[in-house]
Structure 1
Amino acid sequence: MIASASSSLRNREAIDEPPNPLGLDGIEFIEFATRRPQALGQVLETMGFRPIARHRSREVLLYRQGSMNIVINAHAEGLPEAVQPGDMPEIAAIALRVRDAGAAWRRAIQRGGWPVPAQPHPMELHIPALHGAGRSRLYLVDRYREFSIYDVDFVPIPTVDRHPPAVAGLHWFGVVQYVGLDRLDDWTEFYAELFGFSALPDDTRFGILPRGRVLASPCGQFYLQLIEPELDAVEVDPDETLHRVAFGTPDVRQAVRELTRRGMAFIESSSVHTEDRGALTQTLLGSVAFELVHHPLPAS
């Protein structure tokens, strides 16, 4: 069969498409929304994070350890499509580092992304965003080297080390997203089309919770794990959410020992328990759990 001129053009464009179309360069921060910021802050400090800065005009606090930033947002935005702070913390956003935020946002919209209206306060940076799973957002950040977004929007907490070291070599590994029934392929296409993620073979697994489909970021710095409801479940949760964060560590058991010493509790049951491959914390505050995955330290 001879392909038409238009299909030949599409095939040629697909071949020429760069493997990293948005210039993705890892995760800048992960944002939690909650009405209980102090309680979540205590959990993060047990995991090795430290509060280093406060937002200039909103009830937002920045936590950091090593190369990772987590934002706790207790400020009600008043936008119906945004994650609103509730009693149980919820992952509200992932901020992705990109080469050019404006260009990346426009390309993502052209490829079918859903834009989030920008409503920055006076003297705040405009950070372009897309709608993600459920009510979450995907921010695009291009200021993360010598000059960062925190230099404008945040005020450092006095006498606090702004670069606390990572506990047991913890670093971003990825995020687990719960998807709706029969929505696995839709979300795989979404991340592939907009960002250049690629699905790993089904027999490629990390950690101790191997369900779902794993997508590799085009920059090679983190993964997404998409999990559908189990068909034999008594009740199927229709909500699609960013469910939990996974940290990489070169030595899982050492990390578990250190975090246990700091007060973190891990699940140790017949079905889920600490192994060389990974570990899972107990759920805190009704919704917060962190996963550890054996993964070497990224090259500096």
Structure 2
Amino acid sequence: MNTPSQATAADREAIAEAANPLGLDGIEFIEYSTTRPQALGQVLEMMGFRPVARHRSREVLLYRQGAINVIVNAHTPALSNGAGPQDKPVIAAVALRVRDAAAAYRRALERGAWAVPSRVEVMELNIPAIHGVGTSRIYFVDRYDRFSIYDVDFVPIPGVDPHPPAIAGLHFFGVVQYIGNDRAEDWSEFYRELFGFVELPAEQRFGILPKGRILRSPCPPASRFYIQLIEPEAGVLDVEDDEGLQRIGLGTADVLATVAELGRRGVTFVESRGVHTEDRGALTNSWLGSVSFELVHDERG
């Protein structure tokens, strides 16, 4: 029989496990698919990223600033449906950090996720993945501390700092996902049942684009991130193929200082009646027809 203190400790562990069933610990990388890797690379460098490594056997580059990893994939096929990259860059995958990738993958499949067939070549890691929104993938990564997935699949670019500092403490804040009409509950259930996300109250909002539904990951506070689900505007024809990951949200402790620094690097921001830069957040103008970034005030920076 447990003593009261032992019982309390056991209860706490059980609660923590139930609240974070896959052991999520943040975002490891976000991957873009594109036929224009150099053009997208120029955009990323303007945003403060630096190319730090090349894939051993594929046309894939790793960009980084601080703890933010972005992969640019021009390899064919790059999407989960076997299609090749498109002219307009699309967010093709999100990799989630987990305690045990194999266990997280198995549990996700048991809860109804669809597996993505592996296409591993010689000397490559087998990173388990499930289908996400549209043609995107969700990877599970458990090698992100002292030994990472990049140590196996990528070759460092000579003479480049492998860990360039982040501009103004930028870090992953989350992703914005466009969904079809009346699909908010379906997608909320998807993230809730598979990963343990919780819906935030309607009055709890971030940034300058507060519409839609916001889901919070079950990660520890330091690595927590958010998914914002946005339906079409009222009266807009719903097209199922329009569902997908729209943009990356980046957190910063000082939005205005970050905007000023990025402005010196050539980044411009949306300034209109409905959307404009303020201390809560900012939205970059779009590049290449599809790429934009949202800054959100977040003290973790």
TM-score for both structures, normalised by structure 1: 0.92
Shift of 1:222: 0.4
Shift of 1:82: 4.5
Matches within 5 A, 1:1-300: 18-77=18-77, 81-82=81-82, 84-219=84-219, 220=221, 221-233=224-236, 235-238=237-240, 239-297=242-300
Confirm or deny: 8 A CA contact 2:113 2:131 kept in the other structure: yes
Q: Which amino acid aligns with 1:236?
A: D
Shift of 1:59: 0.1
- Indicate the SS of the match to 1:61: strand
- Indicate the SS of the match to 2:118: coil
Confirm or deny: 8 A CA contact 2:177 2:246 kept in the other structure: yes
Q: Which amino acid aligns with 1:294?
A: H
Q: Which amino acid aligns with 1:246?
A: G
**Percent identity (aligned):** 66
Shift of 1:241: 0.2
Shift of 1:17: 6.0
Instruction: Give ranges in structure 2 of 5+ residues lacking alignment.
Output: 1-13
Task: Indicate the RMSD between aligned Cα atoms, in angstroms.
Answer: 1.5
- Indicate the SS of the match to 2:54: strand
Q: How many Å separate the matches in 2 of 1:146 and 1:83?
A: 34
Q: Which amino acid aligns with 1:275?
A: E
Confirm or deny: 8 A CA contact 2:79 2:92 kept in the other structure: no
Q: Which amino acid aligns with 1:243?
A: Q
Shift of 1:226: 0.5
Shift of 1:16: 9.1
Shift of 1:139: 0.2
Instruction: Give ranges in structure 1 of 5+ residues lacking alignment.
Output: 1-13
Q: How many Å separate the matches in 2 of 1:134 and 1:82?
A: 13
Confirm or deny: 8 A CA contact 1:98 1:140 kept in the other structure: yes
Q: How many Å separate the matches in 2 of 1:74 and 1:269?
A: 34
Shift of 1:80: 6.5
Confirm or deny: 8 A CA contact 1:82 1:136 kept in the other structure: no
Shift of 1:118: 1.0
Go from structure 1 to structure 2 and tell me whether the alpha carbon gap of 1:164 and 1:80 turns closer, same or farther (over 3 Å shift).
closer
Provide, for residues 145-188 of structure 1, a one-character-per-residue CA deviation record: whole Å limited to 9, x for no partner: 11100000000000000000000111000000011111110100
- Indicate the SS of the match to 1:25: strand
- Indicate the SS of the match to 1:189: helix
Provide, for residues 167-213 of structure 1, a one-character-per-residue CA deviation record: whole Å limited to 9, x for no partner: 01110000000111111101000000000000000111100001110
Confirm or deny: 8 A CA contact 1:83 1:136 kept in the other structure: no
Provide, for residues 107-160 of structure 1, a one-character-per-residue CA deviation record: whole Å limited to 9, x for no partner: 000001111111101110000000000000000000001110000000000000
